[in-house]
A and B are shown apart, each in its own frame.
Chain A
Amino acid sequence: GAVVSQHPSWVICKSGTSVKIECRSLDFQATTMFWYRQFPKQSLMLMATSNEGSKATYEQGVEKDKFLINHASLTLSTLTVTSAHPEDSSFYICSATSLLQGLGYEQYFGPGTRLTVT
């Protein structure tokens, strides 16, 4: 149980274009979803937290107009990187928690999406 998927697993895009990454909880309803980015050989850095039906809460230093987060249902959150630039190239990982089904506050992570901006 507590499986989270991400799509796509990797994407290459040209500078200036936008990219959408999907995060789905497959076997539970996620009350909260989190988006992280991870640079090589570093730990995970929280970008934003989103509750279903609410606006996302962004961490300090994360541009909310650049990283658009939508959490329209209890099983789907999307992260759109707008006007991507090479410095946005990174490994983006989502996670989900569910208080509805007794999973507690521990987060279950997706497999990640490797974004390369050329």
Chain B
Amino acid sequence: GQQLNQSPQSMFIQEGEDVSMNCTSSSIFNTWLWYKQDPGEGPVLLIALYKAGELTSNGRLTAQFGITRKDSFLNISASIPSDVGIYFCAGLNYGGSQGNLIFGKGTKLSVKP
């Protein structure tokens, strides 16, 4: 089945730094989604990408849908402490009345000690 490789698995951030993470797939997706999950909470949708090549921003977040439809990246500019959490990419192929998400394993953002 389809699998997503998300990297890095974890990273430490210092306030003000830019952060970048990405996902790659062995096959194409119609839609890429990026979620953030805080401990003990459900994932919150950050950005949804629908077209190959699409570049979309949401505040300090920017994400792109790769031209090949097999990859996506998420950038966070000027990170702040509340950016800490786990970020998941998810690919979606829709058909019929439903679409199942394929999740990456997540990128854990922590504050540099």
Task: Evaluate contact between B98 and A49: CB separation under 8 angstroms.
Answer: yes
B44 surroundings in chain A (CB, below 8 A): 109
Task: Evaluate contact between B42 and A112: CB separation under 8 angstroms.
Answer: yes
Task: Evaluate contact between A109 and B35: CB separation under 8 angstroms.
Answer: yes
Binding site for A on B (CB under 8 A): 31, 33, 35, 40-45, 48, 50, 88, 92, 94, 97-101, 103-106
List 15 interface pairs A-B (beta carbons < 8 Å), by A numbering: A32-B98, A42-B105, A44-B43, A46-B100, A51-B97, A93-B42, A105-B94, A106-B92, A107-B33, A107-B45, A109-B35, A109-B43, A109-B44, A111-B42, A112-B42
Q: A93-B43, A114-B40 are in contact. List 13 more A-B contacts (CB 8 A).
A: A6-B42, A34-B101, A43-B106, A97-B98, A99-B97, A104-B50, A105-B31, A105-B98, A105-B99, A107-B101, A109-B45, A111-B41, A111-B42
Asked if A108 is at the interface (CB within 8 A of a chain B CB), the reply is yes
CA A104 to CA B40, docked complex, whole Å: 26
Asked if A15 is at the interface (CB within 8 A of a chain B CB), the reply is no
A51 surroundings in chain B (CB, below 8 A): 97-98
Q: For B35, B42, B106, which residue has the most chain A Cβ atoms within 10 angstroms?
A: B42
Task: Evaluate contact between B48 and A44: CB separation under 8 angstroms.
Answer: no
**A interface size (C-beta, 8 A):** 27
The 7 closest A-B pairs by CB, nearest first: A109-B42, A105-B99, A105-B94, A32-B98, A112-B42, A43-B103, A106-B48
Task: Evaluate contact between A97 and B99: CB separation under 8 angstroms.
Answer: yes
CA A106 to CA B101, docked complex, whole Å: 9
CA A69 to CA B24, docked complex, whole Å: 33
Q: For A4, A43, A49, A91, which residue has the most chain B Cβ atoms within 10 angstroms?
A: A43
Scan A42-69; emit 1 where CB is below 8 A from any B CB, else 0. 1110100101000000000000000000
Task: Evaluate contact between A43 and B105: CB separation under 8 angstroms.
Answer: yes
A71-118 CB contacts (< 8 Å) to partner B: 91, 93, 95, 97, 99, 104-112, 114
CA A108 to CA B98, docked complex, whole Å: 13
- Write the nearest CB–CB distance from B10 to chain A, whole angstroms: 10
Chain B residue, CB-CB nearest to A46: B100
Chain A residue, CB-CB nearest to B31: A105
